[in-house]
Amino acid sequence: MIDIHKHVLSAEGRIRPHIRHTPLDHSFYLSAVSDGRVSLKLENLQHTGSFKIRGAMNKLLSLTPQERKAGVVTASTGNHGLAVAYGLGQLGIPGSIFLPENPSPQKLEMLRRYGAHIEFHGTTCETTESHARAEARKRGQIYVSPYNDPQVIAGQGTVGVELLTEWNSVECVMAAVGGGGLISGIAGYIKKKRKDVEIIGCLPENSPVMYESIRAGWIVDAPVLATLSDGTAGGIERDSITFDLCNRHVDNWVLVNEEEIRAGMQLIFEEHRYVIEGAAGVVVASFLKLAERLRHKRVALVICGGNIEINTFKDLVF
């Protein structure tokens, strides 16, 4: 088993000059709901608008001089792609971001703003990713996974370092789960320091792959439907190291439906004036669903990102 705690500590020292220590914002509204203390870890205010810059930057900074010179490849239409593009620009490393041939214009513009070299292949994320991996091998470059990599997971785990540094008495941490990189890093770090902290994984009912995999005891091909939480949607690689980490360190799981996700996004805008993406809405919705069980608890909600197209957000919350 990988010692994620050790990797996270290394990542903390490595990436600190390159990331923001994001605010931990007390929520008066959510605290009143559970008669406890609830705070929001605002990764939506991180560089590139999500926690993903932590893992991407740690991976890039971990490359050898030879690997940096050769460059990297990744595939992503979302937060991971933005994070890698930003990191490549900051560190002067060559690389390519592969996208499907039909990306959203807004996401494409954001990637170009970071100076990314963009290549297109296929019409689905799975096809694009498979091609990108093959291209990385052919070009002798490193493929940067969005979650199935110890260095990426360790970078995401620095969220946990900041949480415990600022709020050592926290009793529960809730985070969204797709491939499991974020919650694996956070839980792997926190459980080494505070075994009593409850870690809760939050997923949309329409894409519950990690939850179903933990229930089955192995990684499964669970049905995936369209979801507002596009940042957590999709399957999990068969060899993903996040499965064992989640199985070992995550205490409980909760699923929420699309209307609950929308309501969570709307609540954060109304009460805090933050625009958050669907994956962050999953966490808020999950807390509301468990509020009675979490009564009187000190709970941290990881607001993982705020990258959502503004017209989509307006249609959802207004």
Distance CA 20, CA 289 (A): 30
For residue 255, what are its two tokens?
Answer: 């699923």
Distance CA 256, CA 235 (A): 18
For 170-202, the pLDDT digits (tens) are 999 999 999 999 999 999 999 999 999 999 999
Burial state string for 143-161 with b = 16 or more CB within 10 A and e = fewer than 16: bbbbbbbbbbbbbbbbbbb
Computed from CA positions of residues 174, 180, 186, 192, in that sequence, does the dihedral angle turn out positive or negative? positive
Distance CA 178, CA 211 (A): 9
For 48-85, the pLDDT digits (tens) are 999 999 999 999 999 999 999 999 999 987 899 999 99
pTM value surpassing 0.85 = yes
Domains of the chain: 4-51+151-317 (3.40.50.1100), 53-148 (3.40.50.1100)
Residue scoring higher pLDDT (105 or 226):
226
Using DSSP's 3-state secondary structure scheme, residue 42 falls into strand
